[in-house]
Amino acid sequence: MMKRRRAVHRPMHACAVGAGWLILLSLGCLAGEPSGLSTSEDAPRRGRPSDVRGVRCLFDQKPWLNADAAGDRDPEGITYRVFLDSGSGKGVLREGTFYVEMYEIRREDSGEIKRAMVSDWRYPTGHFDTVSAKILGKGYVLRLRWAKKDIAGREVEMITQFIDPAGNATRSATKRLRVPKYAS
């Protein structure tokens, strides 16, 4: 009788364990997205590798911002467009942070090139205006003021990085520019 009773209990025990797993799995499915993230196709899920494969920066011929209250013509900042490439060939909007570094390039009398960071910015993507272009897709318009007032007339390098919510970083190519200096 004992053997038969055990045989009856084992299948019930296995059913109970299986039912428990089904309940746990279904609860996990009901939990949904982590709070603070959009479920739109424009936002990756937390904990997954970033789908941003490239950061493409487009600078106009004269990307300079004149933000000086005194009104001189020397630029105090820069504006450019950034498109995040997910591999589709079109820019996409993503939740994350832009980290931008600006380096001043100096040529020494000996011919040696010195590079020194003069400004850096860290802003969430939501801080910037967006742009939509038929060929390029969706992107951001970065408008950045630099910290030092004596950048005019200097050569600078700009590096733009996108960091997604999971901490994955994707870096742009380095862009070298000569900031104009006007005779007042």
pLDDT in tens, the chain (184 residues): 454 444 444 444 444 434 443 333 333 333 333 333 333 344 444 556 678 999 999 999 999 998 777 677 888 899 999 999 999 889 999 999 999 999 999 988 888 989 999 999 999 999 999 999 999 999 999 999 988 778 889 999 999 999 999 999 999 999 999 999 886 5
The per-residue DSSP string of 58-95 comes to E--SS-EE---TT--SS--EEEEEEEEE-SSSSEE--S
Third-level CATH fold of 54-178: Immunoglobulin-like (2.60.40)
- Model pTM above 0.95: no
Q: What is the pLDDT of residues 78-100, one digit of tens each?
A: 999 999 999 988 999 999 999 99
